[in-house]
Structure 1
Amino acid sequence: MIPDPNLASDIDAICRLTGEFTLRSGQVSSEYFDKYLFESQPALLVRVAEQMESLLPADTELLGGLELGGIPIATMVSARTGLPALFVRKKAKEYGTCKLAEGPDVAGRRVTLVEDVITTGGAVRDATRALREAGAVVEVVVCAIDRSPAGENPLADVGLEVRPVLTKADLDAARAR
C-alpha cells in the first residue's frame, strides 16, 4: 500500500479538539482526537481503512471492531479485504444471545482487533481478555491513532502488538507543518 502523505494533516485538521477532556482512562487532557469526525466522513474513513490493510497480519481470520469507534473502521476494512467482521461490545448484552462479540464464532480463530484511538488501551485490554477466554487467538490490534507515549506499548502487559496507522507524533508533526 502506498503511504497517504496527507492523511495525518487531514485527520488532525478535522478531529483534533482543544479544551479540557476526561479520557476513558480517567486522565485529563488538553486535547482530544474526536474519531467520529473522521469516521463519519466516507472519503476520510476509506483512506484510514486503506492504510490499515497493510498493517493486518497475514493470518488474520476475523476483524474484531471494538464498540463503538472501532466498528465503522472494521466494517470498512472488512468490505475492502473480504475478511469477516466481528463486533465486540464493551460488555456482553444481557438479553437475547447474551454475546460479547457479535458475528462468527471466535473459538480457535485468529482475531485482529480494530480500534479507533488508543491511549492507555483499557478497552482493548478488556476485549482481548474476554475474546481469549472465548478461545480466540488475539495478538495484534490495529488502530487509526495511537496517542500513547512514543516508544511505549500500553498493551504489552497482555502480550498485544499495537500497529497504528498514525501516532500522536505523526499528528503533531502534521500540525507543525
Structure 2
Amino acid sequence: MTDQKLARDIYQAAHLTGEFTLRSGVTATEYFDKYLFESDPRLLKRIADALAPQVPTDGVDALAGLETGGIPLAVVLAQVTGIPAYFIRKEAKSYGTCRLAEGGDIDGKRLFIVEDVITSGGAVLDALHELRNRGARIDSGVCVIDREAGGLKNLSDNGVDIRALFTMSQLKEAGE
C-alpha cells in the first residue's frame, strides 16, 4: 500500500515536463527534479520516515548515500534509523584522504545503498563495483523513485535488491 498523499506531494514538488537528457543518455519528456523534494525539510523527513521500514534492523553497518542526491536522503534516514551514514563519491578524491567513501572505513562493512532516482541503474552499478572492490558488502538498498526503465532488474542481476518507495507510474497516478 503506497502513501498517496506523499506520492502526490513528491509529484507536485518535483515533476517537470520538457526535454531532458538523463544520465543514461536517454531523452525524457518528464523529469523528477530530486533536489526539489530533497531541499524541502518536511518532505524529506516524510520520505525518510517512509523509507525507514525498508532498512534491515540487523546487520547493516552504514547507509551508503550516493553522490549527490542520495546523500541528503541518507543523512535524514540515519536520523530516523540510528544507522550511520556514509557519503559515496562518484570517484575517489585525488587529494586529501583520497577516499571514495566518507564517514568511515568500508572494508568488510555491510552497506545499504540509498539513492534518489534510478533509471538504468548505471550510477548505482558504478558505485557498487567500486565499493565492492574496496571490500564493502552490499546486497540491498532503497531509492525514492524507480523510473521503470530496467534499473532495478539490472541491479538485481548484479546481486543488489533495491526497493523503490514509488515507481514513476505511481507518482504520475497520484499527481494527476
User: What does 1:65-80 align with in structure 2 at a 5 Å threshold?
Assistant: 65-80=65-80
Which runs of structure 1 show a deviation greater than 6 angstroms over 4 or more consecutive aligned residues? none
Which range moved further: 36-45 or 2-11? 2-11
Aligned length: 175
Matched, 1:124 2:116: no
User: What does 1:8-23 align with in structure 2 at a 5 Å threshold?
Assistant: 8-23=7-22
By how many angstroms is 1:64 displaced? Answer: 0.3
Contact 2:118 2:151 in 1 (8 A): no
Contact 1:119 1:154 in 2 (8 A): no
Identity %: 51
CA distance in 2, matches of 1:127, 1:169: 26
Q: Who is 2:89 aligned against? A: 89
Contact 2:115 2:143 in 1 (8 A): yes
Q: Who is 1:31 aligned against? A: 30
Q: 1:152 to 1:104 in 2, by over 3 A?
A: closer
Letter paired with 1:167:
T
Q: 1:26 to 1:150 in 2, by over 3 A?
A: closer
What TM-score comes out, normalization by structure 2 length? Answer: 0.94
- Where structure 2 has 5 or more consecutive residues not aligned to the other structure, the ranges are none
Matched, 1:99 2:104: no
Letter paired with 2:132:
R
Q: Who is 1:153 aligned against? A: 153
Task: Provide the secondary structure at the position in 2 that maps to 1:60.
Answer: coil
Letter paired with 1:125:
L
Letter paired with 1:4:
D
Cα deviation digits, residues 133-162 of structure 1 (max 9, x gap): 111110112001111248962312311111
Cα deviation digits, residues 36-58 of structure 1 (max 9, x gap): 00000000000000011011123
Which range moved further: 61-70 or 146-155? 146-155
How large is the RMSD of aligned CA atoms in angstroms?
1.7
Letter paired with 1:105:
D
CA distance in 1, matches of 2:125, 2:170: 24
By how many angstroms is 1:60 displaced? Answer: 1.6
Q: 1:151 to 1:33 in 2, by over 3 A?
A: closer
Letter paired with 1:147:
R
Contact 1:3 1:51 in 2 (8 A): no
